[in-house]
Amino acid sequence: MKMKLIKTLATIAIAIIAQLSVSQKLVILHTNDMHSMLTGFGPELAYTPMSINNDKTVGGFARLATLLKQEKAKLPNSTLIFDAGDFLMGSIFHAGEQETGFQIPLMKKMGYDAITLGNHEFDYGPGALAKIIRSSIKTGKMPEIVSSNFIFSETSKADDELEKLFKENIIKKYTIIEKNGLKIGIIGIMGEDADEVAPTAKPVTFAKQIKTVKKLTNKLKKEDKVDLVICISHSGFYPDEKKGGYKGEDIKMAKKIKNLDVIISGHTHVKTEKAINVNNTIIVQTGSYARKLGRLELDVENKKVKNFKFSLIPVNDKIMGDAEVNKLINDYKELVSNKFFGPLGLSFSKPIAESNFNVNRNSYITKKPGKVGQFVTDAIKFYIDKHTDKIDFAIEASGPIRESILKGEITPADIFRVSPLGSGYDDIPGYPLAKLYLTGKEIKGLMEVIVKTQGGVGTDSYLHYSGVKIDADIDGGFLKKVKKVYIDGKEIDISKKNEKLYSLAASTYILSFIGRIKKITMGLVKVTPKNAKGQEITDMGKQIIDFDKNKKGIQEGKTWIALVEYLNSFKDTDGDGLPDMPEKYKQ
């Protein structure tokens, strides 16, 4: 009898242990930094989502929708789908979001469970972001929006509408999702670098991400008794070229926080071929533009990840697009084309020029300079000189230049993606072009900064210019490399005694950084932006160029429109009716 009881107890104990150690599977499908690339990455006319094996474009929401559906069907009760921010802003599609709220409900239809907000969701300001989300609610169901470290102003009303969305629990500080018997806590975070490059987010500010995530992780694990905590982070990381591996905000966060299980990363457009394991926190990122879909498979036992597998799945022309999603996008394409291209006599997919070669951006990987920055600044100068008083020179940074111009026929949609960011005071998307004035000595100082940035070809701060040339001694001392400056081919006096003012044009976004040069150079170079009368500028909005003084109000000019007009000025060298890209922009 005693032996029988012992055997019975042993059997029960084994059963309990077996139950406790059962491995539960969870699959996370994820994207980041899609930037409204609804019709893929590549020449617009080449994208054919409803046929396969006939084009080289990658990405596209119709293809992504198919892939998400296929992957989720394998383990429907164990699969979550996330996006790590900057899902908006990057194509003409984002321009219609305030009225239509198109993309967020589309992402829900595609299967997304939760998303976080990135810096580019704030490109039009917190009020516009709130309007996008309100319009999205009217359009259809949304994924859960999780943003954990927003701080709202107690004095300004500019962020009140966004704050209301938090109070109504439409945007959440965290959420809990149950899948396959697992209770999963979800946090969403905006990183420090993302904060720094989001000036239009003001008056919204962001709490430090490590402190925020640590506090919420502890709450979710101890109070809510979740099995896993996943942080959807718009913070990012970079390869560590000196030490190997990776460095950056998400790596630091994993090192500092215990019990954080997974970081789905974004912001830095880094592609991880293998998952990174830091302090038992798994970190992954897919690159950008939905060219890859991340798939992270976890085996969870006793609230711990015991094993994991990660892969990047190509989103390409081998995948037949989802017909319903493709139709929705085509209908929306017609709407935005009529609204934003139509008044300019343009059409979304009608070619306006062609190129026999790629005009590339600076490479963030190889650090090689491209020619598209020169093309953009030449176009800005051409456009302004054509419509208003001529300027002396124009500048642009690499950051706002989002794409290369690829070989083949070029459409307005392709060109818009080169310079898609920002808004002004009219209904046309894009930062307005503005003008300020500097002395010869200040131009010399600015060019010293430009020379300094040219050591960082693969950075957003790399500056391109047109209309000005310099003689520089690369071996010269710090901020003492520029020896001569030429404008319109003539050398100018760069000494302090020359009080003549020279005109500089760029977008209001870029010009807003000119006054910060003193801080960047630790006080060694001082550049004071001035108006035509030599008075210091305090409001860059007052420097916006009026492109048609015969009309009431200020008629803003945009960089992407400058690119269109510049392309139209080129010769048709092969007689096919389309202007051809000049050879000078060939790499």
Distance, CA of 364 to CA of 166 (rounded, Å): 36
Distance, CA of 118 to CA of 190 (rounded, Å): 6
Q: What is the pLDDT of residues 98-155, one digit of tens each?
A: 999 999 999 999 999 999 999 999 999 999 999 999 999 999 999 999 999 999 999 9
Identify the weakest region by mean pLDDT among 181-195, 537-551, 573-587: 537-551
Q: What is the CATH number of domain 22-323?
A: 3.60.21.10
Q: How far is CA 253 from CA 184, 192, 283, in A?
A: 19, 12, 10
Could you tell me whether strands 281-284 and 276-278 are parallel, antiparallel, or unpaired per DSSP bridges? Answer: antiparallel
Structure-block tokens of residue 174: 């965290």
Q: Are 269 and 287 in contact (CB under 8 A)?
A: yes
Distance, CA of 41 to CA of 35 (rounded, Å): 11
All residues at 6 or more sequence positions from 263 whose CB lies less than 8 Å from its CB, including other chains? 230, 231, 233, 250, 253, 254, 281, 282, 283, 284
Distance, CA of 361 to CA of 343 (rounded, Å): 29
Question: In this structure, how many other beta carbons lie within 10 angstroms of the beta carbon of residue 77?
Answer: 9
Task: Return phi, psi of residue 466, to 5°.
Answer: -145, 140
Confidence of residue 46 (pLDDT cuts 50, 70, 90): very high
H-helix or E-strand containing 517? helix 517-520
Q: Are 419 and 429 in contact (CB under 8 A)?
A: no
pLDDT above 80 for 13: no
Confidence of residue 15 (pLDDT cuts 50, 70, 90): very low
Distance, CA of 38 to CA of 59 (rounded, Å): 8
pLDDT above 70 for 272: yes
Q: What is the pLDDT of residue 475?
A: 81
Q: Are 453 and 468 in contact (CB under 8 A)?
A: no
The secondary structure of 28-72, three-state, reads EEEECCCCCCCCCECCHHHCCCCCCCCCCCECCHHHHHHHHHHHH
CATH 3.60.21.10, the chain: domain bounds: 22-323
Q: What is the pLDDT of residues 332-343, one digit of tens each?
A: 999 999 999 999
All residues at 6 or more sequence positions from 348 whose CB lies less than 8 Å from its CB, including other chains? 44, 92, 333, 334, 336, 337, 341, 411, 412, 413
Mean pLDDT, the chain, integer:
93
Length of the chain: 587
Q: What is the CATH number of domain 351-585?
A: 3.90.780.10
Q: Are 430 and 423 in contact (CB under 8 A)?
A: yes
The percentage of residues in the chain with a pLDDT greater than 70, rounded to a whole number, is 94
Q: What is the pLDDT of residue 351?
A: 98
Distance, CA of 185 to CA of 198 (rounded, Å): 27
Q: What is the pLDDT of residue 204?
A: 98
Q: Are 32 and 288 in contact (CB under 8 A)?
A: yes
Q: What is the pLDDT of residue 454?
A: 61
Q: How far is CA 307 from CA 230, 232, 586, in A?
A: 16, 20, 49
The secondary structure of 244-265, three-state, reads CCEECHHHHHHHHCCCCCEEEE
| Rg for the chain, CA atoms, rounded | 26
Q: Are 285 and 266 in contact (CB under 8 A)?
A: yes
pLDDT above 60 for 557: yes
Confidence of residue 51 (pLDDT cuts 50, 70, 90): very high
CATH 3.90.780.10, the chain: domain bounds: 351-585
Q: What is the pLDDT of residue 16?
A: 46
Nearest to 27 by CA among 180, 186, 225: 180
pLDDT above 80 for 49: yes
Q: What is the pLDDT of residue 525?
A: 81
Identify the weakest region by mean pLDDT among 109-118, 258-267, 469-478, 532-541: 469-478
pLDDT above 60 for 9: no
Confidence of residue 17 (pLDDT cuts 50, 70, 90): very low
Q: What is the pLDDT of residues 354-372, one digit of tens each?
A: 999 999 987 666 567 789 9
Angle, CA of 378, 384 and 389, to the nearest 5°: 130
Q: What is the pLDDT of residue 44?
A: 94
Mean pLDDT across the stretch 541-567?
A: 95
Q: What is the pLDDT of residue 119?
A: 97
Distance, CA of 153 to CA of 439 (rounded, Å): 38
Identify the weakest region by mean pLDDT among 79-88, 226-235, 292-301, 452-461: 452-461
Distance, CA of 155 to CA of 429 (rounded, Å): 29
Q: Are 54 and 102 in contact (CB under 8 A)?
A: no
Q: What is the pLDDT of residues 462-517, one digit of tens each?
A: 889 999 999 988 888 877 889 999 999 999 999 999 999 999 999 998 998 887 77
Nearest to 336 by CA among 429, 425, 404: 429
Q: What is the pLDDT of residues 166-204, one digit of tens each?
A: 999 999 999 999 999 999 999 999 999 999 989 899 999
Position with higher pLDDT, 147 vs 23: 147
pLDDT above 50 for 209: yes
Question: In this structure, how many other beta carbons lie within 10 angstroms of the beta carbon of residue 384?
Answer: 21
Q: What is the pLDDT of residue 223?
A: 98
Distance, CA of 576 to CA of 134 (rounded, Å): 47
Distance of alpha carbon 420 from its chain centroid, rounded?
Answer: 10
Q: Is the dihedral of CA 328, 104, 269, 396 positive or negative?
A: positive
Q: What is the pLDDT of residues 389-418, one digit of tens each?
A: 999 999 998 889 999 999 999 999 999 999
pLDDT above 60 for 12: no
Position with higher pLDDT, 524 vs 116: 116
Could you tell me whether strands 292-301 and 393-397 are parallel, antiparallel, or unpaired per DSSP bridges? Answer: unpaired
Mean pLDDT across the stretch 259-266?
A: 98
Nearest to 226 by CA among 234, 241, 212, 216: 216
Q: Which amino acid is at 162?
A: L
Nearest to 33 by CA among 402, 425, 434: 402
Query: Which stretches of 337-439 are DSSP H helices?
Result: 372-387, 412-418
Q: Are 486 and 492 in contact (CB under 8 A)?
A: yes
